[in-house]
Amino acid sequence: MGQTATFRIWRGNGHEGTFTDYATEVTEGMVVLDAVHQIQAHQAHDLAVRWNCKAGKCGSCSAEVNGHPRLMCMTRLNQLNLAKPVTIEPMKAFPPIKDLVTDVSFNFRAKKSIKPFKPRPPDAPDGTWRMAQADVERVQEFRKCIECFLCQDVCHVLRDHRLFDEFVGPRHMIYAAALEMHPLDVEQRARDLKDAYGVGFCNITKCCTKVCPEGIGITDNAIIPLKERVIDQLYDPVVKLLRMFR
Amino acid sequence: MPEYQTHVHDVLVIGAGGAGLRAAIEASASGVSVGLVCKSLLGKAHTVMAEGGIAAALANVDDRDSWQVHFADTMRGGQYVNNWRMAELHAKEAPDRVRELEAWGALFDRTADGRILQRNFGGHRYPRLAHVGDRTGLEMIRTLQDHGIHMGIDVHMECTIVQLLKSGDRIAGAFGYERERGRFKLFRAKAVVLATGGVGRAYKITSNSWEYTGDGHTLAYDAGADLMDMEFVQFHPTGMVWPPSVRGILVTEGVRGEGGVLKNSLGRRFMFDDIPENYRPQTADNEEEGWRYTQGDKSARRPPELLTRDHVSRCIVREIKEGRGSPHGGVFLDISWIKARIPHAAEHIKKKLPSMYHQFKQLADIDITQEPMEVGPTTHYIMGGVRVDADTQMSTVSGLFAAGECAAGINGANRLGGNSLSDLLVFGKRAGEFAAKYAVGQKAADVDGSQADAAARRALEPFERGTSGEGPYQVQYALQDMMQDLVGIVRNEGEMKRALDCLRTLRARAARVGIGGHREYNPGWHSALDLHNLLTVSEAITLSAIERKESRGGHFREDYPDKDPAFATFNIVTRKSRDGSTEVSRAPIPPMPQELKKVVEEMK
C-alpha cells in the first residue's frame, strides 16, 4: 500500500455534529483503529474514541464503519475500498457523547436487572463441583462475549423501536442463557425472561448474530432456547392445568 | 476551594481489573462502603487480555503438585529476590481463590473426571494453570464483575485519579476527573487500594493497552510511598512482529504449552542450545521428551521453550542479533508441526488456542494450523511496584494499599506465566480485607482543599497553553522510543545515563505540552496528564537499573552479564526525597525462615 486514504469521521457533542474528512497515510496491515489513532496523534488530539486491547478481546472500539457495525481494531483497511472515503460513525442505538463515543450505560443497568448466578450445593466435601466438559462447552460459547454491544446496536427492538425499558437486548439474552444453562445454576428466571427481560420482543431476524465478532450463535443457541424455556415453563397446558388444582 | 463533586467511601479502590475488583468485593463483603474507580468502562481492564491461565496448585492433573512446589517454582523464577512471605501466601491461597471463582460462576475447562483442568506453562514444574481455552482473563474479569455488581459497590467508570490526598501522614482520599464531562471529582476515603496495573506504555513495543501508564506507581510515589524492584521489567518472548500495526500484541505462552516450538531461520530449535544450569535437571534434552511432556507424560521433562520468560526473550534477541531471525525481525513459533504427531491437529489447535487462531487469521492473514507465526519480545509486565507489607498489602504510607501488578514483591526478578492472575486474586482479596479492617478503625480524615485545588490547577495547565504547545502524543512517542532503545531488554550503564539526560529533556517538553478542544471526553488532555506518570516510572526504572550492577531475571546488563550473589541480598527502593528528587536505596531482604529454606532446597 503506502497510499493516502480519506476517513470521514463523525465529530460532535451529543446529537450536534458533522462529518469531517481526514487524509492520512495507510501502510501494510493497518486496521481502522490505527487510522483513527494516526489522525488523533497528528490532526485531531481531542478526537474521542474508546479502545483498550487492540486485539479484539476487550470490546471497547465498536463503531459503524461504512455503515457496518464493527470492532475498529479488527477491521483491516485492505478489506475496505480506499478509493472512496471510509465513513466512521458511533453506534447509533446509544445516545452519543462525543465523536465516536456513546453512552452505553443502559447495558450495565440491564445486566444488573438479571438475577445473578446461584449454584447448587457443592458436589464434593471439599466444596467443589464436578462438571463434564461437554456441559461446560455449551455455556462457554456465551461466555466468549466481550461486551462490545454491537449486537445491541443492530437489534431493531432497541435501535429502531427504542424499547430499552422492555427488552434487555441480545447481549443480555446470552448473559441470561449462560446463567440458565450453567450446569450448576438453580435460579428460576422464566417469569423474568418473559416479563422483565422481554424475550418475546425478539422476532428472530438474527441481525445480532450476524455482527457478533466472537461468532456466538446468539439467536439460535441462546434466544430461541430461552423462548422455548419460557413456553415450557409458563405456557405448558398440562402444567397450567395442574397448577389450577394445586 | 471550588465545589467539587464529592464522594465519600470507607475504602476507595483505584483500578478495576482483577485485583481491584477482587479487593472491592472483599472490602464490600466485610460491610464497609466501597467506591471503585475504573479508568475505562467496567470489565475492559487489562486483565481481559490475559490468556494462558491462573496458576494454582490444585493438583487436579498431577497429584505431585503442592503449595510447596508452586512456592519453590515462584522463587526460582524470581531468582530469589522475591518477598518470600508473599510467595508463600500466594502458593498457599491460590487454590482457594480459584475454587471461589467457580462458586461465583466461572466455567473452567474440565478434566475427564469433571474437575478443573490445568495446563503446562513456563517455569511451572507440573501442569498448574486453570484455564478457559486462551481467554482465561476474560472469564476471570467477567466472573468478578458479574459477582461484584450485586454487592452495592459504587462504580465510577471512565474516571482518572490524578493525585492522592493526605492528611498528615495518612491517606485521606483521591482527586481525579470523569472523562465524559471532564469534571473534577473528590473522593474522601479512610483507606485507598491501588490496583492500577503496569507501565508498558513507557515502551514502544508492548502488549499493554493505553491504560498502562504507571498511574498507581506514580500516585504512590508522589504520596511518599516506596517503590521497589522497578528495574525488573518483563519482556514477554512472544509478541506479534508483523504487520507493523500489531507489533507487540501478545501471543500466549499457551502455544508453547500445547507443543509449539521456537525455530530460527535455519530451522533449528535454538532453545536447546542454552539451558541455564539451575533448570537443567528439569528440562528435556531432546525433542522427543519435550513433546511427550506437552502431551501429559509425567515421566518427561519440559521442553526448553517453556523455560522462564526472561531467558527465552534473551535467546530470541540473540538469534535475531546474530542474523538468524525471521524476515520481519523475529523468530518462528510453530504449532502447525504437531499435525505430524496427532490426528485432526488443525481442529485441536483451534479448540485449544481459539483466539490465537482468530488473531493471526484476521490481523496477519496467517493460518497458525498450517504455518509458523513470527514472534519477538514485547514489554509485558513490571515485577516492580509499590512496596507493601506481605500480609496486609499496606504500603509505607498509612492507609494506602496496593495489589496486583502495581505492587512489588511476589515475583522478584521475573514473573512466571500464570502467576499474575493468581496474584491478583490472592492479594486483591488481602488488600480489600485489610483496607476494610484499617478503615473500620479510623475516623474520616480531614481533606485539605488546597491539595485538590493545586491538583486541579496543574491538570488544566495544558489547556492554557492550547494548541501552540507541543502535542502530548509526540512527547509520549519520543519517550517510548527512548526507553525501548536505552532501557530495554539489553542494558548498559552508558545508555542508561543517557536515558536520564533524555528524561530531563522530555520532562521539560512535557511541561510545555498544550492541547485544544474542551474538557469533555478529550483523549489529548488525558495523554497530556499521563505523561507525568510515564516519566516518573521511566525514571524509577532507569535509576534502579543503573543501581543493580548485575544481570538477574528480567534485568539484563551487557556490562555486568552475570548474576552476582552480593546483589541477591537486597531489593532496590526508590522514593521521593524532600527536595523532589528521587532517592535510590538498598533494602536488605530478611532471611527466609528455616521451613521455607528447606522447601527451596528440597525442590532444587
At B505, phi and psi to the nearest 5? -60, -45
For the residues of B235-304, what is the DSSP string, one character each? EEEEEE-SSGGGTT-B--THHHHTT-EEE-TTS--GGGG---GGGGGGB-SSHHHHHHHHTT-TTSPBPG
Instruction: Tell me the pLDDT tens digit for each residue of B46-55.
Output: 999 998 899 9
Distances B262 to B247, B269, B332, B408 between C-alpha atoms, Å: 18, 6, 6, 31
Cα B75 to Cα B404: distance, rounded to the nearest angstrom: 17
SS3 B109: coil
In CATH, the number for domain B461-571 is 1.20.58.100
- State the cell numbers at B518: 474542551
Active site residues of B: 236, 256
Given an 8 Å threshold on Cβ–Cβ distance, is A53 in contact with B209? yes
Given an 8 Å threshold on Cβ–Cβ distance, is A132 in contact with B114? yes
Whether the CB-CB separation of B150 and A116 falls below 8 Å is answered with: yes
**What is the predicted pLDDT for the residue at B370?**
97
SS3 B398: strand
Interface test with B, best of A13, A27, A52 (most B CBs within 10 A): A52
Chain B residues within an 8 Å CB radius of A49: 523
Whether the CB-CB separation of B56 and B65 falls below 8 Å is answered with: no
| Cα atoms found within 13 Å of the Cα of residue A55, Cβ hemisphere only | 30
**What is the predicted pLDDT for the residue at A242?**
80
B362 closest CA partner among A84, A68, A207, A72:
A72
Span of A2-6, B85-89, B320-324 with lowest mean pLDDT: A2-6
**What is the predicted pLDDT for the residue at B603?**
87
Whether the CB-CB separation of B395 and B401 falls below 8 Å is answered with: yes
Domains of chain A: 3-102 (3.10.20.30), 105-239 (1.10.1060.10)
Straight-line distance from the first to the last Cα atom of chain B, in angstroms, rounded to the nearest whole number: 61
SS3 B32: coil
Given an 8 Å threshold on Cβ–Cβ distance, is A128 in contact with B115? yes
pLDDT at B1 over 60: no
Computed from CA positions of residues B480, B481, B484, B486, in that sequence, does the dihedral angle turn out positive or negative? negative
Q: What residue spans in chain B does CATH classification 3.90.700.10 cover?
A: 235-379
Computed from CA positions of residues B333, B50, B86, B393, in that sequence, does the dihedral angle turn out positive or negative? positive
Cα B10 to Cα B3: distance, rounded to the nearest angstrom: 21
Instruction: Tell me the pLDDT tens digit for each residue of A66-76.
Output: 999 999 999 99
Cα B157 to Cα A195: distance, rounded to the nearest angstrom: 29
CB atoms near residue B140 (< 10 Å): 28
Q: Which residue has the cell 501429559?
A: B296
**What is the predicted pLDDT for the residue at A246?**
66
Instruction: Tell me the pLDDT tens digit for each residue of B333-355.
Output: 999 999 999 999 999 999 889 88
- State the cell numbers at B64: 505431585
Given an 8 Å threshold on Cβ–Cβ distance, is B105 in contact with A101? no
Chain A residues within an 8 Å CB radius of B103: 119, 122, 127
Instruction: Tell me the pLDDT tens digit for each residue of A172-207.
Output: 999 999 999 999 999 999 999 999 999 999 999 999
- The pTM of this model reads 0.96
Q: What is the mean pLDDT of chain B?
A: 96
Q: Which long-range contacts (CB under 8 A, 24 or more apart) does B282-285 make?
A: B282/B125, B283/B307
Cα A72 to Cα B205: distance, rounded to the nearest angstrom: 20
For the residues of B478-527, what is the DSSP string, one character each? HHHHHHHHHSSSEE-HHHHHHHHHHHHHHHHHHTTB---S-STT-HHHHH
**What is the predicted pLDDT for the residue at B182?**
96
* Closest chain B CA to residue A134: B110
Write the ipTM.
0.96
In CATH, the number for domain B235-379 is 3.90.700.10
Given an 8 Å threshold on Cβ–Cβ distance, is B48 in contact with A146? yes
Chain B residues within an 8 Å CB radius of A125: none
Instruction: Tell me the pLDDT tens digit for each residue of B410-438.
Output: 999 999 999 999 999 999 999 999 999 99
Report the percent of chain B where pLDDT is more than 90.
Answer: 94
Chain B residues within an 8 Å CB radius of A45: 467, 471-473, 515-517, 522-524, 527
pLDDT at A216 over 70: yes
Report the percent of chain B where pLDDT is more than 70.
Answer: 100
Name every residue whose Cβ is closer than 8 Å to that of residue B365 and which is 6 or more positions away in sequence: none
Distances B236 to A50, B206, B208, B243, B489 between C-alpha atoms, Å: 26, 9, 11, 18, 10
The backbone region for B191, taken as left when phi is positive above 0, alpha when psi lies in -120 to 50, beta otherwise, is beta
Given an 8 Å threshold on Cβ–Cβ distance, is A45 in contact with B473? yes
**What is the predicted pLDDT for the residue at B446?**
86
Instruction: Tell me the pLDDT tens digit for each residue of A74-103.
Output: 999 999 999 999 999 999 999 999 999 999
Q: Are strands B170-178 and B184-194 parallel, antiparallel or unpaired?
A: antiparallel
Q: What is the mean pLDDT of chain A?
A: 95
pLDDT at A2 over 80: no
- Beta pairing partners, B402: B194
Distances B405 to B200, B235, B428 between C-alpha atoms, Å: 11, 14, 10
pLDDT at B30 over 70: yes
Cα B275 to Cα B257: distance, rounded to the nearest angstrom: 17
**What is the predicted pLDDT for the residue at A26?**
95
Given an 8 Å threshold on Cβ–Cβ distance, is B523 in contact with A48? yes
Name every residue whose Cβ is closer than 8 Å to that of residue B402 and which is 6 or more positions away in sequence: B193, B194, B195, B216, B220, B385, B386, B388, B393, B395, B431
| Cα atoms found within 13 Å of the Cα of residue B356, Cβ hemisphere only | 35
pLDDT at A1 over 60: no
Q: What residue spans in chain B does CATH classification 1.20.58.100 cover?
A: 461-571
B398 closest CA partner among B442, B362, B429, B432:
B442
What is the band of B65 on the pLDDT scale with cuts at 50, 70, 90? very high
At B482, phi and psi to the nearest 5? -65, -50
The pLDDT of B159-186, averaged and rounded, is 97
Instruction: Tell me the pLDDT tens digit for each residue of B563-588.
Output: 999 999 999 999 999 999 999 999 99
* Closest chain B CA to residue A29: B243
Chain A residues within an 8 Å CB radius of B43: 147
The pLDDT of B107-120, averaged and rounded, is 96
Instruction: Tell me the pLDDT tens digit for each residue of A13-44.
Output: 999 999 999 999 999 899 999 999 999 999 99
Interface test with A, best of B245, B251, B480 (most A CBs within 10 A): B245
Q: Which residue has the cell 398440562?
A: A238
pLDDT at A239 over 80: no
* Closest chain B CA to residue A146: B138
b/e B514-536 (16+ beta carbons within 10 angstroms → b): bbbbebbbbbbbbbbbbbbbbbb
A-B C-beta contacts closer than 8 Å = 170
B512 closest CA partner among B450, B562, B554, B462:
B462
Burial category of A30 from C-beta neighbours within 10 Å (exposed 0-12, middle 13-18, buried 19 and up):
buried
